[in-house]
Amino acid sequence: MAPLSCSPLRRVVVTGLGAVTPLGADFATSWKALVAGKTGVRALTKIDASRFSCKVAGEVRDFVATDYLDGKDVRRNDPFTHYAVAAAKMAREDAALGGPYADPYRVGVVIGSGIGGLQTIDAQSAVLHTMGPRRVSPFTIPALIADMAGGVAAIELGARGPNFATLTACSSGAHSIGEAYHFLKLGKADVIFAGGSEGSVNPFAIAGFCAMRAVSTAYNDEPTRASRPFDADRDGFVVGEGACVLVLETLDHALARGARIYCEVTGYAANCDAHHVTAPLLSGEVLARTIGDALGESGLRPEDVDYVNAHGTSTPYNDLCETNAYKLAFGEKAYRLAISSVKGATGHMLGAAGAFESAVCAQVIATGIIPPTINYERPDPSCDLDYVPNVARHSIVEVAVSDNLGFGGHNAVLVFQKFSTP
């Protein structure tokens, strides 16, 4: 029997960016604020902060859901779906990817979430316990399941290709992009809208994170200083929310339609610490392996990397784990790498974080501007690398790496590279 023929692997590029973040209701506004060293972390306003030990958050503001969905669909869906649909439509516009598509079955959507419809869970649980089961909305289950952001986005985009959601906590957005990249690389689609979304500023989520003692409480009176990655005085992360979607395309498809290309995706790896349900392995050895595997797929060496976008949550354990991982993965080059975390500016957007940070890497390569790690005021002797403190830096970046970690021990690493013509 003759062996099956194998199609050649495709190159994959980024052609569109869309986002809703605590810094702004679109990617351009968010990027401008980010490189200016501004923060979207403020005092809680969406819920009664007096009930919680943490009183700060990265809330989405100035966002109008009916700009992207009709009123009926806004009412039927959770905010995490509103944000995802908005980000996807903005990414489509940025990519100049108008419809109808030549083949909608070759256009996919992969949008992850850390948890899904948290606001729906909170609100409808209250309805159940105060008004009874007959008053629970019939849209409760569709609104809360985490795949619905991608499902509704596909309906709005007319995309009938591969569609699924990754659920790996805070690495969900990164895994979505990585899995979409592999689908495209294998020729299973021509275009995929990939990213993550979270609507996490609600009483249920804030109460849960406070109970874990995972969030910052030391800066309730100075909320803009609360998220401080790699700083010696960090005391926990700040809950953020929002969405980010990237348009990924096979290179052939992008070139055929004359698309503008931000960068190329050249590597992805994923593994698990297999260590603890919430704490990362402090040695960083597993994350270092993930970085090495992603670079290996790219055909790159550690010394080829110019910039690392860190997960950088502002928790004592995470930031130390990452610092250790960078030293293991990059060796002496770790001390010459530009490393920054955007979470000082956005808070932790949970399932959307890896997607937004991937978009930041694409923009860093395209513009030569590295965003700073803000609120970096007192160096931690254990975190002794170059975290691009407080002020953006101009630098040519040919290769950028983004890593994300999720509860459960999940690790995801993506490699982005400056596009060069075939």
Catalytic residues: 170, 311, 348
Q: What is the separation of C-alpha 364 from the centre of its chain, rounded to a whole number of angstroms? A: 15
N-to-C CA span, the chain:
35
Rg, C-alpha atoms of the chain: 20
Sign of CA dihedral 322, 57, 91, 180: positive
User: Using CB atoms within 10 A of its CB, is residue 49 exposed (0-12), middle (13-18) or buried (19+)?
Assistant: middle
User: For residues 70 and 47, is the Cβ–Cβ distance under 8 A?
Assistant: no
Token pair of 313 as six digits: 């949550």
Q: Which residues pair with 415 in a beta bridge?
A: 267, 401
Backbone angles phi, psi at 412, to 5 degrees: -140, 135
163-164 β-sheet, strand order: 163-164, 107-112, 191-198, 242-250, 12-20, 263-272, 410-417, 399-406, 307-309, 338-340
Residue 347 CA to residue 363 CA, distance in Å, equals: 19
DSSP secondary structure code for residue 66 in this structure: G
**Nearest CA to 214 among 230, 240, 236?**
236
Task: Note if the bond before 8 is cis, omega within 30 degrees.
Answer: no
Enumerate the H helices of 314-402 as residue ranges.
316-330, 343-346, 353-367
Cα dihedral sign, 341-84-66-208 = negative
State the sign of the Cα–Cα–Cα–Cα dihedral 266, 17, 113, 286: positive
